[in-house]
Structure 1
Amino acid sequence: MQGTPYDPDNIFAKILRGEIPSHAVYEDEHTLAFMDVMPQSEGHTLVIPKTPSRNIFDADPTTFMWLMPTVQKIAKASKKAFHANGVRVVQFNEAGSGQTVFHLHFHVIPTYDGVELKLHARQQEDGGHLAHNAEMIREALKFIS
Structure 2
Amino acid sequence: MDCIFCKIVNGDIPSARVYEDDDFIAILDIRPVNLGHTLLIPKKHFRNVLDTDVEIGSKIYPVLTKLCNAIKDALNCDGLNVIQNIEAAGGQEVFHSHIHIIPRYKDDGLRFTKKHKEYKSTDEMQEFAKKIAEKLS
* Larger RCO (CA under 8 A, 6+ residues apart): 1
Match of 2:121 in 1: none
Structure exhibiting the larger radius of gyration computed from Cα positions: 2
Residues 1:44 and 2:37 aligned together: yes
Distance 1:29 1:39 in 2: 25
Residues 1:85 and 2:78 aligned together: yes
* Equivalent position to 2:95, from 97, 102, 106: 102
TM-score (norm: length of structure 2): 0.78
Distance 1:53 1:117 in 2: 29
1:117 deviates by 3.1
Structure 2, unaligned stretches of length 5 or more? 112-137
**When the two structures are aligned, how many residues end up with a matched partner?**
112
User: Is this contact kept in 2: 1:31–1:66, CA < 8 A?
Assistant: no
Match of 1:4 in 2: none
Structure 1, unaligned stretches of length 5 or more? 1-7, 119-145
Between stretches 15-24 and 59-68, larger displacement belongs to: 59-68
Residues 1:10 and 2:11 aligned together: no
1:23 deviates by 0.3
* Equivalent position to 2:49, from 53, 56, 81: 56
- Which segments of structure 1 move beyond 6 Å, counting only runs of 4 or more? none
